[in-house]
């Protein structure tokens, strides 16, 4: 695959070099192989949706991308730098990046928001700015306030998580990831733990983020939202990518397994 430097700056998003690139990525837990050779390229500004049945490996793909789960084999490149163990039979990359550098550039939002209950929204967002980025408190709080403003919650900055709805808590979690100014944001079923009436607010925040050009990888069962936002849509089953496509995939999948899944859930 070409490196960034091979491309002129004028490349359109579809031609730009991938910011995240997985090739033949495999992951086993003991004897159980849960990713069976994943190929995926995410280009700058793209919004990629991963969907598929429970246990198909969607979360493991996201967790592999920021090395929360180290891949068993295969290539994981971020911004052209190799972080994976490599593809058997291919020459090893001359240099491998450090996990800490990868994680600095990737924000992750989980189903459970994992906010600290004893800290306000502002303090929750400011904390990683201080601990990860080493910002002083006033600078961290300034940036945290800006991130809360972006998710529409600046007026709730002084509230504790128990004083916020689940949807608002998830938007604070999005602000916490955003405040670190990541190149890519990963979302693992960000609305699955929410009451139905709270889903829309979180999706609206994600839509606004997408409109700013943020590169996003989203695991979701909200296929209406996926259809609206997904530039690249990836159907996974049994640790493999079965089919990828643009938004048309939801109306007219070509693979019968994608078709069977969609007719069961839509």
Ligand X SMILES: Nc1ncnc2c1ncn2[C@@H]1O[C@H](COP(=O)(O)OP(=O)(O)OP(=O)(O)O)[C@@H](O)[C@H]1O
Residue 55 interacts with which of Mg ion, ligand X, none, CB < 5 to 8 Å by class: ligand X
Q: Taking CB under 6 A as the rule, does residue 59 contact ligand X?
A: yes
**Cβ-based nearer residue to ligand X, 54 or 263:** 54
Among 12, 54, 212, 263, indicate the residue that binds ligand X (CB under 6 A).
54
Identity of the residue, 109 or 157, whose beta carbon is nearer to ligand X in the bound complex: 109
Cβ neighbours of 155 (radius 10 Å) = 10
Distance, CA of 29 to CA of 17 (rounded, Å): 31
Give the total residue count for the chain: 266
Residue with Cβ nearer Mg ion (59 or 215): 59
**At closest approach, how far in Å is the CB of 124 from ligand X?**
25
φ, ψ of residue 187 in degrees (nearest 5): -125, 120
Is residue 60 within the footprint of ligand X (CB under 6 A)? Answer: yes
Which residues contribute to the site for Mg ion (CB under 5 A)?
Answer: 59
For Mg ion, the closer of residues 57 and 161 by Cβ is: 57
34 in contact with ligand X (CB under 6 A): yes
Q: How far is the CB of 49 from ligand X (least distance, A)?
A: 13
Q: Does 56 bind ligand X (CB under 6 A)?
A: yes
Provide the Cα torsion 194, 196, 197, 200; round to 10°: 80
Q: Is 84 in the site for ligand X (CB under 6 A)?
A: no
Q: Report the candidate in 65, 79, 51 with the shortest Cα–Cα distance to residue 250.
A: 51
Per DSSP bridges, beta strands 20-29 and 32-42 are: antiparallel
Please choose, out of 40-48, 51-59, 122-130, 174-182, the segment that lies near ligand X by the rule CB under 6 A: 51-59
Q: What does 56 bind: ligand X, Mg ion, none (CB cut-off 5 to 8 Å by kind)?
A: ligand X
By C-beta, is 178 or 249 nearer to ligand X?
A: 249
For residue 52, give both structure tokens: 């598929």
Phi, psi at 229, each rounded to 5°? -110, -20
The dihedrals phi and psi of 240, each to the nearest 5 degrees, come to: -135, 155
Q: 137 by DSSP, 3-state: which? A: helix
Long-range contact set of residues 55-59: C-beta below 8 Å, sequence gap at least 24 = 56/236, 56/237, 56/238, 56/239, 57/27, 57/236, 57/238, 57/239, 57/240, 58/188, 58/219, 58/236, 59/188, 59/189, 59/219
Spatial separation of the C-alpha atoms in residues 39 and 46, rounded to whole Å: 16
Among 6, 13, 15, 55, binds ligand X (CB under 6 A): 55
Q: Which stretch binds ligand X (CB under 6 A): 26-34, 71-79, 98-106, 241-249?
A: 26-34
List the single partner that 264 binds among ligand X, Mg ion, none, CB under 5 to 8 Å by kind. none
Q: Whole-number minimum distance, CB 93 to ligand X, in Å?
A: 26
Q: At closest approach, how far in Å is the CB of 252 from Mg ion?
A: 26
- State which of residues 3, 15, 29, 142 lies at the interface with ligand X (CB under 6 A): 29
| Binding region for ligand X (CB under 6 A) | 29, 32, 34, 54-60
């Amino acid at each position: 695959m070409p490196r960034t430097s091979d491309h002129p700056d004028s490349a359109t998003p579809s031609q730009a070099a991938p910011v995240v690139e997985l090739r033949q990525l495999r992951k086993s837990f003991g004897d159980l192989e849960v990713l069976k050779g994943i190929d995926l390229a995410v280009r700058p500004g793209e919004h990629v949706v991963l969907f598929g049945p429970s246990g198909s490996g969607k979360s493991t793909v996201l967790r592999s991308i920021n090395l929360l789960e180290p891949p068993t084999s295969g290539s994981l490149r971020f911004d052209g730098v190799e972080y994976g163990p490599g593809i058997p039979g291919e020459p090893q990359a001359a240099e491998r990046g450090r996990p800490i550098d990868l994680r600095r550039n990737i924000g992750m939002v989980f189903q459970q928001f994992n906010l600290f209950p004893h800290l306000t929204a502002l303090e929750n967002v400011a904390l990683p700015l201080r601990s990860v980025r080493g910002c002083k408190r006033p600078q961290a709080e300034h940036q945290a306030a800006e991130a809360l403003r972006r998710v529409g919650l600046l007026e709730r900055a002084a509230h504790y998580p128990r004083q916020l709805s689940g949807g608002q808590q998830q938007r604070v979690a999005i602000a916490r990831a955003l405040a670190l100014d990541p190149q890519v944001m990963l979302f693992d079923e960000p609305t699955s733990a929410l009451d139905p009436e709270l889903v829309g607010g979180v999706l609206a925040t994600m839509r606004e983020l997408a409109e700013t050009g943020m590169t996003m990888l989203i695991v979701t069962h909200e296929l209406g939202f996926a259809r609206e936002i997904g530039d690249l849509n990836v159907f996974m089953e049994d640790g493999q990518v079965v089919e990828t496509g643009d938004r048309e995939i939801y109306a007219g999948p070509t693979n019968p397994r994608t078709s069977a899944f969609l007719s069961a859930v839509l």
